[in-house]
Amino acid sequence: MAFKRSREADKGLQLVSLIDLIFILLIFFIITSVLIKLSLGESKLYIPTPKNEPGDAQILVQIISEDSLLWLDHTAIDTLNLYTYRLKRPVPAEIKRNILLDKMIVDRKGLIDKIGALKELAGTEREKDYFVIIRCPDHFPYHYATSIVERLLDVPNLEYGCVSGSIHDFNDKSGFKIAGNTLQIDFY
Amino acid sequence: MAFRKTENHRILELTSLIDIVFLLLIFFLVSFAFSLGGDVSDSQLSAEIKLPETETRLTPIKSDILRNLMFQIVPDTLDGRYTRRVYVLLPAVGDSGVVSRRRALGIAHRDSMFATFETDFFLLDDASFSKLAAAELISTSIARYVKNAIRVSNSKHPMIEVRAESQTEFKIINFIMTQCSKYKEVVPQIAIRMTP
């Protein structure tokens, strides 16, 4: 019986091609890793220069933690009036503070909704200027504040300012005086 | 006459094919990366490109070329305690070409354009904080940059950039923003480069 003789030469490893491929793979992964680092590792956020001056603001956002914020807008006066009217007696600052801390705190999702509503309002009332003050404790990571600033953009009549300060500045000495449509808070 | 039939070698050479495919892939990847990274040829530099007034979302870094005054804030230690150091990175002026951020960082290091904040700097009040050497370096650098704004930058409104880790304390960034707010008319925009 005749057997077909196999060719021994075909069984050898193509070493040159193998090295070639390995080098190409190596270069490929080096380049992709560098590109990924460049594109994903660092990002740039363009923000308008803030107006960091003391003054009146329509909205005050106090950062309490990464997921907890105090949002004070015109509804804060309504809330205070509602609850203090029920008490039917002069209300000390401590109680006003507790009412605000109880009713006006929002999480990140709530903040997004509030900002969305504010932008819509500012977009419709273009003749009116809106000013938002963001208060953040000094030791907190700055991205807590810039993530809020990022969401406030796109509306020309909406300005913002950043100031240092913690929730502990809302204390008994703060007063929480209501004068007409204005809520005056003194920080010490 | 008997002819020997030749064997038909029409089998695809897979190794060579992969070789060529990878070569092409790498070529296009690299050329794409260069097109993103921005050409630094003279023709590109002299071109006047009208940039939008504001960009509002986080955008990936496309180029490492420094075009504005930049404050780079890095972790540091002082007496074994954790703190921050600020570097002042200056862009190339006039016809002196372009400078990358890395090169500018080297120059800042060489020329001692850096300062370290005291430990627990975030506990200081604003007045005490502004008297720190690092804070004074920031404020004087911004003032000088704004003064020379027309000469330093080709753009109508120069920008100030801050490059810092996302965990950097708000006190430092807010101080820079407050200094910039003094020159809001000249510097209407700030760029924040957030590193992980």
Could you tell me which residues come within 8 angstroms of residue B53 by beta carbon, excluding any fewer than 6 positions away? Answer: B188, B189
Please tell me if residue B9 touches chain A, with a CB cutoff of 8 Å.
Answer: no
Per CB-CB distance under 8 Å, the chain A contacts of B164 are 142
Tens of pLDDT, residue by residue over B86-113, are 999 988 766 566 888 888 999 999 999 9
Please tell me if residue A179 touches chain B, with a CB cutoff of 8 Å.
Answer: no
Per CB-CB distance under 8 Å, the chain B contacts of A141 are 166-170
The reply to whether residue B26 touches residue A153, judged by beta carbons under 8 angstroms, is: no
The arithmetic mean of pLDDT across residues B115-128, rounded, is: 92
Helical spans, DSSP H, in A41-142: 74-87, 93-103, 108-124
Please tell me if residue B180 touches chain A, with a CB cutoff of 8 Å.
Answer: yes
- Interface with B, mutate which of A49, A65, A164 (most B CBs under 10 A): A49
Q: Is the pLDDT of residue A63 over 90?
A: yes
Q: Is the pLDDT of residue A25 over 70?
A: yes
Per CB-CB distance under 8 Å, the chain A contacts of B19 are 17, 20-21, 24
Q: Judge whether A63 and A140 are in contact, CB under 8 Å.
A: yes
pLDDT value at residue B55: 45
Amino acid identity of residue A177, one-letter, is K
Which DSSP category does B153 fall into? -
Tens of pLDDT, residue by residue over B11-55, are 667 777 787 888 888 888 777 766 655 444 444 444 555 555 444
Distance CA B157, CA B151 (A): 12
pTM of the model: 0.73
Kindly give the interhelix angle for A143-152 and B170-181, rounded to the nearest 10 degrees: 40
Whose tokens are 């050497």? That residue is B133
The reply to whether residue A38 touches residue B60, judged by beta carbons under 8 angstroms, is: yes
